[in-house]
């Protein structure tokens, strides 16, 4: 049974707000996610459709792509979805933003949507901070903790022309 489930059977037309929570394990998120998922949902119910605006927040321990240090990061995101009772109500809408549900549906389950959007909310390049210095390419020292004693002259000579951009 879904943890992030909204009962729609007795909703009157108009705007409704829901606040739901789940553990990362309950919705299938991996071990990087440690904080509970907090979901704030706004549902606008019409005659034959529901419009959902969901905002979520979680967090966890991630590994920096530059320096390989682990750090805590908050993950936030949102999405919008239109639920319609027949395909005709979805004309002109992007397929990814519309779900067809049965007119007799009593619930909408958000577990899988939140799981997917939480994963997509992780940046492609995960950095502990914007100015992360990374690792020394020669000795591997984390340059966020101080300079290393490696000579910069050991660099590959094919990169020499790029040095002029570093000095600016």
At 63, list the tokens: 């590994």
Q: Is the pTM of this model over 0.75?
A: yes
Do 91 and 112 reside in the same domain of the chain? yes
Q: In the chain, how many domains are there?
A: 2
Contact at 8 Å (CB) between 81 and 99?
A: yes
Do 71 and 113 reside in the same domain of the chain? yes
pLDDT tens for the chain, 168 residues: list them: 788 999 988 889 999 999 999 999 999 999 999 999 999 999 999 888 899 999 999 999 999 999 999 999 999 999 999 999 876 555 555 666 888 888 888 999 999 999 999 999 999 999 999 999 999 988 889 999 998 888 766 567 787 787 777 655
Do 83 and 125 reside in the same domain of the chain? yes
Do 15 and 67 reside in the same domain of the chain? yes
Do 97 and 36 reside in the same domain of the chain? yes
What pLDDT, on the 0 to 100 scale, is given for residue 99? 86
Do 124 and 138 reside in the same domain of the chain? no
Do 143 and 88 reside in the same domain of the chain? no
What pLDDT, on the 0 to 100 scale, is given for residue 91? 57
Q: What is the pLDDT of residues 53-102, one digit of tens each?
A: 999 999 999 999 999 999 999 999 999 999 998 765 555 556 668 888 88
For 27-77, what is the HEC assignment? HCCCCCECCCEEEEEEEEECCCEEEEEEEEEEEEEEECCCCCCEEEEEEEE
Do 66 and 100 reside in the same domain of the chain? yes
Q: State the Cα–Cα distance between residues 47 and 101, nearest whole angstrom.
A: 14
Q: Which domain holds residue 167?
A: 133-168
What pLDDT, on the 0 to 100 scale, is given for residue 149? 86
Do 82 and 150 reside in the same domain of the chain? no
Q: State the Cα–Cα distance between residues 85 and 90, nearest whole angstrom.
A: 9
Do 122 and 141 reside in the same domain of the chain? no
């Amino acid at each position: 049974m879904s943890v992030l489930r909204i009962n729609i059977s007795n909703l009157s037309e108009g705007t409704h707000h829901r606040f739901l929570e789940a553990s990362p394990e309950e919705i299938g998120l991996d071990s990087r996610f440690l904080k509970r998922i907090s979901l704030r949902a706004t549902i606008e119910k019409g005659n034959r459709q529901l419009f959902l605006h969901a905002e979520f927040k979680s967090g966890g321990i991630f590994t920096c792509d530059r320096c390989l240090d682990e750090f805590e990061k908050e993950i936030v995101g949102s999405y919008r979805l239109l639920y319609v009772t027949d395909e005709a109500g979805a004309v002109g809408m992007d397929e990814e933003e519309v779900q067809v549900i049965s007119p007799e549906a009593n619930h909408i389950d958000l577990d899988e949507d939140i799981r997917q959007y939480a994963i997509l909310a992780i940046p492609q390049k995960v950095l502990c901070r914007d100015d992360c210095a990374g690792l020394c390419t020669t000795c591997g020292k984390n340059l966020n903790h101080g300079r290393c004693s490696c000579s910069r002259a050991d660099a590959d000579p094919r990169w020499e022309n790029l040095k002029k951009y570093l000095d600016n």
